[in-house]
A and B are shown apart, each in its own frame.
Chain A
């Protein structure tokens, strides 16, 4: 009876994906217990909620998801516009919408809604796909990205943009166009520089020369690279990272948790983490390759690469090769919203995998 119930409960869950995510959660737990032990109980609560959401999403077949795509996207746009007009300001950015009983960050919704929306659009025009459709998709993508970038929230804007771009890429955007746009983007970089906020420019300058402002903008990067470098091959040991324990690492339970992990577990720990992310991406791409419909394929590919983007941007910025943007380390950084979003993504992958044969018949 209980065994039956359990079988039903885990039926839509993909073993390999769950195992990888579980190991990443374990790393999150262990690292948080060192960086900020008082938050461990809250993390467990977040995990419980996120896993529940994953299980529910995994249950939803891709066709249902496809129907949700447009409403979710429109809701997201409306909320973003609302934020632009009525949003709460915190730390100089207008990102939050106060609903009275809770504050929500609508840009988070777009991380999922964006790929769903574009995949839905391509699915709809599957038979008659032309260059014009890619232009429409690009427009659909740029509206929310622009709204988010204006808040300003460069990190989320980058994530939403890449989620959408991955869909367009997998939908077969010709290489000529990709290369052409890339070249145009490079050419426009000086112009874009003029439109960045001062703090954003500062972050980019700091990347190239952290010692430029060692106690100000450069402090984060200097301290996190010191933490990583001093970790060495085997690390200083759990709870033994002086950079972390003596509070030299900023934001050490959220965006910079990788510095804590890397200081205490060293290069060996980093390799384990990279392997886990690589496995996660590999499993995701495999699911995409075997997905039943264009919609499912595009969504699975994009969601998978989202994980990669999170991981690469976060580790890149913490180790000082990318500018500092607010991107967490997926499944490891503390933060309930991000965790729920990421596990929704995993749920979607699981659902697509479960339903890979059904529609094909």
Chain B
């Protein structure tokens, strides 16, 4: 047996103790290093993370700006309504709760669908609507049962409303739930923060164009939340700033009269204040009810609107392109004067047709108008005069003059998606067609373009801008709908120009010749029946746009299907001496310009100048047999 030395054993033990003590110190030093790393070196990072944990920014959505007409009539507003909202983090079994709610309130499958869609998109401590627009009875029913539904509550939210429903809808547009395309726009402008909490976005019309004016500045509540996402207290609140209000150049009453004047016909009307470019009425009928879109349109209504042969969703004033027909003639005449191709008193003989290299272009009037000067060519809408003029001017001159008054290019009106139309020229044809044989310009094409037919295709707003420019003696303005934007907080009004876009190099004597002839149209020409007995002098020009090519056959109204009947056009200004209103009217399949379009213009002028309110829609003047096309 080995002999042990107790003293040696104790010494060895104490060595081990010392070693253990050293080990302990090393381990504690390790911990200390870790604490220094976390609490000194990385402190800022962890401080931020702790704050992120604790503080949640809850957006407070601002009130959307109002849209009012030039007299303050409200066209788009917000109203407060009760919604039933669920805070998912406070609810254990969502489906059960919704089933229970459905027993006391009307909850449709589409409400559930929408709720689940919202659920996947948002954080679970925000409350989300399961039902919107509760009636007072429903609110009372829920409140009586509230104790059974922790995490479910009633909240007041703001909704967009268009009080006149199907009225000026193409101009106002509508808002709808934000989609991916809207998000792209928001990201493009880098305003994501300002759209936190916002559910709606302008989709069309003014709501779309002025989205970022109308939206306002989102407020924020700094809320302290616990680990379960429950709000503990509000730390700070930045109040939202309501969006800017839009005051329009539109006169709502005039707009209403213009819309009603169409009756159940389709068409468009654009009335402009010539001295500013401010749009007084912008009509596209049929209308639709923009309220349908605010909370997501149901599929049935959407199908009805989209599949309707009347195409109510199309804004005809900006996106319908039509041949101008004879409304082209005053501009042709002005071009001829400006270019020195005609003098006003120069007379041509009209045998009832124009022979262009063996090809016969017919006049409407059998046997022709006889000797025709410029005045007569406009008043009686003589085609032969313009066949000859077109031949003398040539297509390039015509295209450059018509282009100068804005035909064939976007006017820049404050609604997005305006169409360009077609200003025909050899250059345009080259671009438009691919095959070489299609690209060739035929001299005969120039002739029919001279009377506003052929490839000519312009939007009603382009025609309105052109006639407004003429009425304003060549000073051109950009047509616009918003008169001024009002900052809701300061009340400061920012006016939208008018600065003239350009002043056309026209001689006043030439302008007067054309205006005088157009006054003649309404006094003794194709517009005389519509303007019989008017207490003011006005200038106008009728037009008929061919929908259906007759290929030399006789046009008989009754034998042609309604969809193939010609479009009726009218451009006009009044009062003749100092025009305060200029307009373009288009009635689809309305027949001759004098028949359908001119009576509508008469009602609009009568109200605007005299305050006369018509009793019914403008009657179609079946007896007005136009001699023009």
Binding site for B on A (CB under 8 A): 126-129, 166, 169-170, 172, 223, 225-233, 242-243, 246-248, 262, 266-267, 270-271, 274, 277-278, 281-282, 285, 288-289, 294, 297, 301, 305, 308, 312, 315-316, 319-321
Contacts and interface: CB of A to CB of B under 8 A. Distances in A.
B16 A169 contact: yes
B226 A247 contact: yes
B315 to A, nearest CB: 50
A95 to B, nearest CB: 27
B609 interface: no
6 contacts: A226-B50, A228-B39, A270-B31, A285-B17, A297-B13, A319-B31
Nearest to B12: A172
Contacts of B39: 228-229, 231-233, 262, 266-267, 270
Task: Please provide the 7 A-B residue pairs with the shortest distance between their CB atoms, ordered closest to farther.
Answer: A229-B46, A230-B50, A229-B38, A246-B226, A267-B39, A247-B227, A230-B46
A289 B16 contact: no
A282 to B, nearest CB: 7
B493 to A, nearest CB: 47
B34 A319 contact: yes
B35 A270 contact: yes
A274 B45 contact: no
Contacts of B35: 228, 262, 267, 270-271, 319
Q: Main SS of the interface on chain B?
A: helix
Nearest to B36: A267
A170 B13 contact: yes
B227 A225 contact: no
Interface stretch (B18-26, B335-343, B549-557, B611-619): B18-26
Contact of A172 (B13, B27, B50): B13
Contacts of B228: 247
Interface of B: 1-2, 4, 9, 12-14, 16-17, 20-21, 24-25, 27-28, 30-32, 34-36, 38-40, 42-43, 45-47, 49-51, 53-54, 224-228, 232
A278 B28 contact: yes
Given A242-B53, A267-B40, A281-B21, A170 B28 contact: no
B17 A246 contact: no
A232 B49 CA distance: 13
B279 to A, nearest CB: 56
A321 B24 CA distance: 16
Contact of B24 (A267, A294, A308, A320): A308
A107 B110 CA distance: 58
Contact of A308 (B4, B16, B27, B42): B27
Nearest to A169: B16
B88 to A, nearest CB: 16
A289 B34 contact: no
B20 A301 contact: yes
Nearest to A235: B39
Contacts of A278: 24-25, 28
A290 to B, nearest CB: 10
Contact of B50 (A129, A243, A247, A270): A243
Given A229-B49, A242-B54, 19 more contacts: A128-B1, A172-B9, A229-B46, A231-B39, A232-B40, A232-B43, A233-B40, A242-B50, A243-B54, A246-B53, A246-B225, A270-B31, A274-B31, A281-B24, A289-B14, A312-B31, A316-B34, A320-B34, A321-B34
Contacts of A242: 50-51, 53-54, 224
A149 to B, nearest CB: 23
Contacts of A262: 35, 39
Contacts of A232: 39-40, 43, 47
Contacts of A277: 28
Contacts of B32: 270-271, 274
B224 A246 contact: yes
B196 to A, nearest CB: 22
B21 A226 contact: no
B414 to A, nearest CB: 48
A262 B54 CA distance: 18
Nearest to A234: B39
Nearest to B43: A232
A212 B194 CA distance: 32
Contacts of B43: 229-230, 232-233
Nearest to A313: B27
Given A232-B39, A319-B38, A288 B50 contact: no
Contacts of A226: 46, 49-50, 53
B6 to A, nearest CB: 9
Contacts of B30: 321
A282 B21 contact: yes
Contacts of A271: 32, 35
A288 B17 CA distance: 8
Contacts of B12: 172
B489 to A, nearest CB: 35
B90 to A, nearest CB: 16
A283 B53 CA distance: 42
B17 A170 contact: yes
Contact of B16 (A172, A228, A231, A266): A172
Contact of A243 (B1, B14, B31, B53): B53
Contacts of A312: 24, 27-28, 31
A225 B38 contact: yes
A294 B10 CA distance: 9
A223 B226 CA distance: 13
> Which of B38, B51, B54 has the most chain A CB within a 10 Å cutoff?
B38
Contacts of B13: 170, 172, 289, 297, 301
> Which of A126, A127, A226, A227 has the most chain B CB within a 10 Å cutoff?
A226
A207 B36 CA distance: 19
Contacts of A127: 1, 4
Contacts of A227: 50
Contacts of A243: 50, 53-54
B17 A301 contact: yes
B607 to A, nearest CB: 66
A6 B556 CA distance: 129
Nearest to A268: B39
B34 A128 contact: no
A114 to B, nearest CB: 17
A301 B1 CA distance: 28
A230 B46 CA distance: 5
Given A128-B1, A312-B28, A230 B47 contact: yes
Contacts of B34: 316, 319-321
A312 B2 CA distance: 39
A294 B12 CA distance: 12
Contact of A289 (B17, B45, B46, B51): B17
Contacts of B16: 169-170, 172, 301
Nearest to B55: A242
> Which of B39, B46, B49 has the most chain A CB within a 10 Å cutoff?
B39
B227 A285 contact: no
